[in-house]
Amino acid sequence: MVKEIERAGIPVVHIATVIPISKTVGANRIIPAVAIPHPLGDPKLAEAKQKEIRRILVEKALDALQTPIDNQTVFE
């Protein structure tokens, strides 16, 4: 689905836990997530720390959306 949205001219960021799969399906902008069972946080952490993790991921995603790219890019 990521490729089809991008084909329509809308940039997409894929936040993913398994980067090789994201590359295989053709995602162009990839943000590594935290872990497979909890991609956007860690339930063992305090709520404030989880919010901080989410904020960092969303900020990376927004930066990635604004970054011109020529091929698949993983934004660490």
Q: What's the whole-number mean pLDDT along residues 38-58?
A: 95
Give the count of domains, the chain: 1
Q: Does the pLDDT value for residue 60 go beyond 90?
A: yes
CA atoms within 13 Å, Cβ hemisphere of 55? 6
Residue 12 pLDDT grade (very low, low, confident, very high; cuts 50, 70, 90): very high
3-state secondary structure 12-44: CEEEECCHHHHHHHCCCEEEECCCCCCCCCCCC
pTM over the 0.85 mark? yes
What is the amino acid identity at position 65? L
Residue 52 pLDDT grade (very low, low, confident, very high; cuts 50, 70, 90): very high
Q: 16: domain range?
A: 2-74
Q: What's the whole-number mean pLDDT along residues 40-49?
A: 93
Q: Does the pLDDT value for residue 66 go beyond 90?
A: yes
pLDDT of residue 62: 97
